[in-house]
Amino acid sequence: MATFNESAAGVYLITVTPFASDGALDLDSTDRMVDSYLERGVDGLTILGIMGEATKLTADESRRFAQRVIDRVDGRVPVIVGASAPGFAPMRELTAAVMDMGASGVMVAPAPNLRTDDQIVAYFDMVAETLGPDVPWVLQDHPVSTGVQMSTGVILKIIGNSPTCVMLKHEDSPGLAKLSAIRAASARGDVRRVAILAGNGGGLFLPEELTRGADGAMTGFAYPEMMVGVCRAHAAGDIEAAHDIFDAYLPLARYEQQTNIGLAVRKHIMADRGMIASATVRRPGPALSASDIADIARLTRRQERRLAELGRPS
């Protein structure tokens, strides 16, 4: 198992879950997808998240998919598994299973009904107790999907209460101010420094988030080379180059962020690039129209042209 702790950085790619055109789990495509991500230089994988259609899998399918990914990665990078669940018994069971398989950690978002600061802090105290002292975990802050808003103070308290919380997946919006405030708190020594990976709007604010102190990205855009390129340019101190790369991919990344059809767009591009065999999304889920596909084709052509102008292969 690859090490996963507070010093994690770079691009943790949120994977899709590949299905065959009949809707069956496609494990061959799983291998191909993992290879294609690793070849493009990602630093970790996150599986069984919302964009991984986790809730549409049976318990058995979840485990077979996780096992396949972990086996294929074979310890080269950490594999993080989404473990959010409405109850702690299934959270504990899934966590134990994937850690046994060789996962490096899990990711947990707040339950959707939480509202007050006290409720949220108490919830994550129970999460930490459920996961136990040996499982490093990622705190996922994603109000758009959960409806739960965590203030900076709440996040600092959760980090303070749970030594095994090693990373924040930052997806709140407006989130730049929160990101700055968390970094300031650890700079002052108020709280342990944890890794922060950015995912706001599917990566649509990545250059700004890196400037505010994010250690990288955790998102799933169909062109991982965008996130890898932006993070590397930023790490090398070339902020303008980071923006250049980002801007070249932005029109298509924006198109992939449409609510609901976004996952279908992502899988269409991935199938087109040969990363998976079929763009199938399990029901209930979106399908693309001919017009959508024409839009993607135009944006892809324009993206290739722009990348060529920048002297980057596409």
Contact between 289 and a second copy per CB under 8 A: yes
CB-based contact 30:65 (threshold 8 Å): yes
Q: Which of 133, 188, 189, 283 binds a second copy (CB under 8 A)?
A: 283
Q: Which of 237, 284, 311, 313 binds a second copy (CB under 8 A)?
A: 284
Window 69-108: contact mask with a second copy (x via CB under 8 A): ----------------xxxxxx--x---------------
Contact between 254 and a second copy per CB under 8 A: yes
Angle (CA) 279-197-55 rounded to 5° is 40
Place of tokens 């490096």: 104
Going from the C-alpha of 267 to that of each of 125, 209, 210, 223, 278, the distances in angstroms are 36, 26, 27, 11, 8
**What is the spatial distance between Cα 69 and Cα 52, in angstroms, rounded to a whole number?**
13
- What one-character-per-residue DSSP string does 156-185 give? HHHHHH-TTEEEEEE--SS-HHHHHHHHHH
Torsion of CA 266, 203, 32, 303, to 10 degrees: 60
**How many CA atoms, within 13 angstroms, populate the side-chain half-sphere of residue 286?**
16
- DSSP state for residue 11 in the 8-state scheme: E
Footprint of a second copy on 170-199 (CB under 8 A): 173-174, 176-177, 180
Find the part of the chain contacting a second copy (CB under 8 A) among 40-48, 56-64, 70-78, 270-278: 56-64
Footprint of a second copy on 3-42 (CB under 8 A): none
Q: Which of 61, 60, 94, 59 is nearest to 80 (CA)?
A: 94
Q: Which of 255, 268, 269, 275 binds a second copy (CB under 8 A)?
A: 255
Contact between 116 and a second copy per CB under 8 A: yes
Rg (CA), the chain: 19
Find the part of the chain contacting a second copy (CB under 8 A) among 33-41, 215-223, 227-235, 250-258: 250-258
Find the part of the chain contacting a second copy (CB under 8 A) among 32-40, 98-106, 120-128, 227-235: 120-128
Binding site for a second copy (CB under 8 A): 53, 55-59, 61, 85-90, 93, 111, 115-119, 122-123, 126, 148-151, 153-154, 173-174, 176-177, 180, 204-205, 208, 211-212, 239-240, 243, 246-247, 250-251, 254-255, 258-261, 282-284, 286, 289, 291-292, 295, 298, 302, 306
